[in-house]
Amino acid sequence: MSTPAFNAAEHQASTLYLPPGQWSTVLDCLCDHFRAISREQWLDRMARGRVLDADGRPVGPQLAYKEGLRIHYFREVPNETPIPVQETILYADEHLVVADKPHFLPVTPAGEYVEHTLLRRLIRTLGNPNLVPLHRIDRHTAGLVLFSANPASRSAYQSLFPTRQIDKHYEAIAPALPDLPLPRIHKSRLIDGEPFFRMQEGPGASNTETHVSVIEKNGDLWRYGLSPVTGKKHQLRVHMAALGAGICNDPFYPQVIKDAVDDYANPLKLLAKTLRFIDPVTGQARYFESRIELDW
């Protein structure tokens, strides 16, 4: 009987195809390719089985280098800064997990965050290494995130997003727009901006669409309802800034706040509030609502 291929995504591992070079061992290649990680750190990871070959077998320090060899490794951040917020699991069955993500918590490992991410926390809580997020929301945004819990049904749930079979509704608190006709539909073309982590509106055919309405008025601030038809990076944040109402406490839009640090008392006033769809596995109508509230 053949051994199933190692699936890096399901095991939360990163993958590297060894580049061309003159190294003697895989260890030498890794040390040269990732110069911010010391040789001692790679040796420690290997000793703990955190570096694997294409079949999921541990790689040792003497394994010979070969161009194109597929290596899986698990990202680790020494002395990772804790994020003092707590997620909530709203629903879980054999196929689907729905979590309420607090502000500032990343969904998946990236940059300086590995263990303090929603994904890693849920894997530990539920004891399910097969968890995979079906979509993402920004680290600064709070609210609902769906996870696939079962590889057998994953593709059915993943198809909900590109085929637009899921209704997503957000809330945001931002400055009032008394001179702008609302509700309205805002369309634009989003392109990479500067610095590298920002997006911006550019010329050309639109690739984003957001429905904007007003839920509540409170003096100079309004609570807006935002329903994105598309799902581009930072779409809602860019669109609100473009309308002249940058979302409260946004460190990136309309301008980057230099040297901004996480202010847990004043988070970005953006919340992924509700999700509605027909479950592709059970055929049931699904509706989930965040328990988080945006205060003024």
CATH, residue 54: 3.10.290.10
| End residue of a domain, out of 45, 73, 101 | 73
Q: How many domains does the chain have?
A: 2
Other C-beta atoms lying within 10 Å of the C-beta of residue 29: 22
Same domain for 68 and 149, yes or no, is no
Which pLDDT belongs to residue 40?
Answer: 87
Would residue 214 count as lying in a domain? Answer: yes
The verdict on 233 and 135 lying in the same domain is: yes
Locate tokens 């109508």: which residue?
285
Residue 294 domain-assigned?
A: no
Which residue among 42, 73, 104 closes a domain?
A: 73
Could you give the 3-state DSSP secondary structure of residue 289?
Answer: strand
Tell how strand 96-101 and strand 142-148 pair up. Answer: antiparallel
Q: Could you read off the pLDDT tens digit of each residue along the chain, which spans 296 residues?
A: 444 556 655 556 788 999 999 999 999 999 999 887 889 889 988 988 889 999 889 999 999 999 999 999 887 766 678 899 999 999 999 999 999 999 999 998 776 777 789 998 998 899 898 899 999 999 999 999 999 999 999 999 999 999 999 999 999 999 999 999 999 999 999 999 998 899 999 999 999 999 999 999 999 999 999 999 999 999 999 999 999 999 999 999 999 988 778 999 999 999 999 999 999 999 999 999 999 999 99
68 & 92 share domain: no
Q: 63 and 106 share a domain?
A: no
220/155 same-domain check: yes
Q: Identify whether 5 is part of a domain.
A: no
Helices and strands in the chain: count of H runs, count of E runs: 5, 14
Task: Give the whole-angstrom CA distance, residue 220 versus residue 18.
Answer: 56
User: Residue 224 falls within a domain, yes or no?
Assistant: yes
Q: Which two tokens stand for residue 82?
A: 């804790």
Instruction: Write out the residue range of the structural domain in which residue 59 sits.
Output: 14-73
Final residue belonging to a domain, choices 73, 103, 122:
73
Instruction: Note whether residue 2 is domain-resident.
Output: no
Residue 142's Cβ-count burial label (10 Å; 0-12, 13-18, 19+) is buried
**Is 218 contained in some domain?**
yes
Q: What is the CATH number of the domain that holds 133?
A: 3.30.2350.10
Tell me how far apart the alpha carbons of residues 293 and 91 are, in angstroms, rounded to a whole number: 18
Clarify whether residues 109 and 145 are in a common domain. yes
Report pLDDT for 3: 47
Do residues 63 and 108 both lie within one domain? no
Same structural domain, 29 and 159: no
User: What would the two tokens of residue 9 be?
Assistant: 């995504």
Q: Which of 41, 40, 16 is nearest to 29 (CA)?
A: 16
List Cβ<8 Å contacts ≥24 apart for 197-206. Answer: 197/252, 198/234, 198/252, 198/253, 198/256, 199/232, 199/233, 199/234, 199/235, 199/238, 200/238, 201/238, 201/242
Which DSSP letter does residue 151 get? T
- Answer yes or no: do 221 and 277 share one domain: yes
Is 106 in the same domain as 213?
A: yes
One domain for residues 35 and 129 = no
- Rounded Cα–Cα distance for residues 135 and 229 (Å): 14
pLDDT at position 1 is 45
Whether residue 147 lies inside any domain: the answer is yes
Q: Is 185 domain-assigned?
A: yes
| Contact assessment for residue 262 and residue 135, using Cβ atoms and an 8 Å cutoff | no
Same domain? For 280 and 138 the reply is yes
SS3 at position 73: strand
